[in-house]
Structure 1
């Protein structure tokens, strides 16, 4: 391996003792590498420190040499001379794919063909047949593939899920889920830089679409709590075709979508995605005895609150006219060892990688493994492209119920 910088303490350590394709020996650290050093890579690097007891980052690579060298110098990380060198590194078991979404399929396929496990940024692939091919290839090779997001493994999601399982406000009946980010193209994103200095990739974000980029945050929570989606009714629209100087050529990707989802458990949900309506990342679950609400699904420790049903005329009047409701906070467990960089994202992006590594070491499927990730991808694609998938759409994938953390 060529050294761009001296290996820092953050990525040094003894070589991983690889025993079988299933993973390292129990108790040993799992070797990982980062493929791609773009905007999102900072979020992974900044939360890698939370998992150094189980993971060792052996190196990074990016096809953009200048970006690679800048990221390497900023974090004092070792970098590979080529993608091929990364694939050939015997100390690396899991490659974290942080490339452009349109490169996910080709790069993840090469990783699997090289005998490595894949943890991919979302989406797993841009087409459902590609996603199915990746999951099938991983199965044939006895490997694991997981796609972000992993926020469902965080304490806020787990506490909300517990409230649903234990019927803290009675039987859940309906879900409203919002991933609205406001008028992004008017927010001065030209000045948005990652901690290491990489600009926010506006054209890629607009071209890929807010639904493919963001719906998984809600869908992963909902599928965990209520089982697979069995029916999707969707409308998606490009409401603002001109987003200024970074508008992609031949831009037709929806900047708004609204989907009605039916789940195997019988639950019904409405999921909205947009980069138009004001910021709103709430997940609200309406139950027989009131409402459960997680206020910000992009925050691992977001407030989770219970709003009991208004029981009398005074309470109903306060709710209707004064927008005042009695509430109680549900305690969200906080691990004092979990740290977030100052000015960084309040999500532990490496939590999913660590969960996958634990699964590899133990020889069990990852919680968010291939079947789960494929389902999230399939439903997301059906929401963003109703003109392709049809509406209503019946997903073909049916992952097994995942276990709480």
Structure 2
């Protein structure tokens, strides 16, 4: 049931907008970017010229434009709720960068508005759709590692974190960002995809500095106030029983980036790719013969790219789901559940209490497999 490619309007033409628009251009049969908008119209003009986007609009013009079916909101976190609600009120489907909101009340308001209007609402991250994470999902679902016992994920970045290289890093150090809300959505979404919804969470947080220094660009040397913790350590317990240990920090001397997610079971251990990337590599260890790091498992899914940044994959999948009249995988319910888990970690870090998670969500359906090279 096709009515041509879904017509997308992109809000936010910064660094991540460049990646989204470029990748969406690789699926012209399913999605087409018909307009882009930014508070800085000159920046939007540059982006449109680079990617052959036919129209540059003011933000309010894009939201009202009858040609736009799906609004992709790539603005900074504090603007997500206002713009998502405005797009829904204008009758547009919405795909939002993470987090869905800065509070659970605002996130629930957004979900309720989408449901009331019969519109779709999606939320990043979409790395869980990549080949490696889908291969890991297949191994877990098939019982390849037996009953899952525990999992772990670590993200280590050298101080000062994003301020070292990002051209406009201010929002990373404000409420709604920091290493928890900026980085934890990746392993949490990956683990919910693998293990199902979360029951409870607890954690601790700290920071060693009250300001950071911009490292590059025209603002190099400028000092930014830090309003959030810069290191978190958390435990989450899943409804199905397993637990996971999650660390996110921008204060580590190691500066190693995000490591593979490790999932251990009664019959083996697997390592998924970096959950902030779209890599293929999955490793599986079932015996001593597999060595300490296991053996690599070949991916069997559709979106093959070992190192490419495929952000926008969730928008493409949502567009296909719209035309096929089926649920999309990067759902708002998943985004809300992950947001509540992060809020619970933050609350626990302040109170030292274990915090129960009230929401739940369905695991997204696995992506279709590609069984042979010829069928891909």
TM-score bracket relative to the smaller structure: 0.7 to 0.9
1:346 matches 2:308: yes
Alignment of 1:132-147 (within 5 A): 132-147=108-123
Aligned counterparts of 1:73 and 1:41: Cα–Cα separation in 2:
13
The answer to whether residue 209 in structure 2 is matched with residue 231 in structure 1 is: no
In the aligned structure 2, how far is the partner of 1:358 from the partner of 1:72? 24
C-alpha separation in 2, matches of 1:362 and 1:332: 25
C-alpha contact 2:237 2:243 (8 A) present in aligned 1:
yes
C-alpha deviations, 1:80-118, integer Å up to 9, x for none?
332232122222111000111110011111001001011
What is aligned with 1:13? none
In 1, Cα distance between equivalents of 2:61 and 2:54: 12
Aligned equivalent of 1:267: 242
Q: Is residue 78 of structure 2 the alignment partner of residue 86 of structure 1?
A: no
Which residue of 2 is the match for residue 241 of structure 1?
210
Q: Secondary structure at the match of 2:364?
A: coil
Task: Say if 1:179 and 1:282, in contact at 8 Å, map to a contact too.
Answer: no
Alignment correspondent of 1:327 = 294
Q: Distance in 1 between matches of 2:277 and 2:161?
A: 23
Question: 1:112 aligned to 2:88?
Answer: yes
Shift of residue 346, structure 1, vs aligned partner: 2.6
Equivalent position SS for 2:355: coil
Instruction: Give the Cα–Cα distance (whole angstroms) in 2 for the partners of residues 330 and 387 of structure 1.
Output: 37
1:306 aligns with 2:281: no
Query: Pairwise CA RMSD of aligned residues?
Result: 2.4
Instruction: Kindly indicate whether the alpha-carbon contact (under 8 Å) linking 1:285 and 1:291 is maintained by their aligned counterparts in 2.
Output: yes
Q: Provide the residue aligned with 2:332 in structure 1.
A: 370
- Once the two structures are TM-superposed, the CA of residue 168 in structure 1 deviates from its matched residue by 1.6
- Confirm or deny: 8 A CA contact 1:291 1:309 kept in the other structure: no
- Report which stretch shifted further, 120-129 or 63-72: 63-72
CA distance in 2, matches of 1:114, 1:309: 56
Q: Deviations over 1:337-358 (max 9, x none)?
A: 8679xxxx73311110112112
Shift of 1:30: 0.7
CA distance in 1, matches of 2:178, 2:169: 11
CA separation in 2, counterparts of 1:362 and 1:74? 31
Q: Residues 4-34 of structure 1, C-alpha deviation per residue, up to 9 Å, x if partnerless? A: xxxxxxxxxxxxxxxxxxxxx5252111110
| Structure 2 residue 318 is matched with structure 1 residue 356 | yes
Deviation for aligned residue 1:228: 0.8
Structure 1 residue runs of 4 or more that deviate by more than 4 Å after TM superposition: 184-188, 337-340, 387-390
Match of 1:69, SS state, is helix
Matched, 1:217 2:186: yes
CA distance in structure 1 between the partners assigned to 2:162 and 2:197 by the alignment: 36
Q: Report deviation, 1:231.
A: 0.2
What per-residue deviation string (whole Å, max 9, x for no partner) do you get for residues 308-356 of structure 1? 3438xxx9xxxxxxxx626211102465x8679xxxx733111101121
Distance 2:11 2:20 in 1: 11
User: Does residue 1:175 correspond to 2:151, yes or no?
Assistant: yes
Q: Contact conserved, 2:99 with 2:339, CA < 8 A, in 1? A: yes
C-alpha distance in 2 between matches for 1:113 and 1:326: 50
Q: Distance in 1 between matches of 2:293 and 2:12?
A: 47
Pairing 1:252–2:227 present? yes
What is the match of residue 204 of structure 1?
Answer: 171
Q: Which residue of 2 aligns with 1:391?
A: 353
Give the alignment's TM-score, normalised by structure 1: 0.81
1:32-85 Cα distance to aligned partner (Å, 9 max, x none): 110011121111022113322200110100011232222223333233332232
Q: How many residues align?
A: 355
Per-residue CA deviations over 1:120-174 (Å, capped at 9, x if unaligned) read 0111111111111100110001011111001111110000111111122322211
Q: Is the 8 A contact 1:202 1:246 kept in 2?
A: no
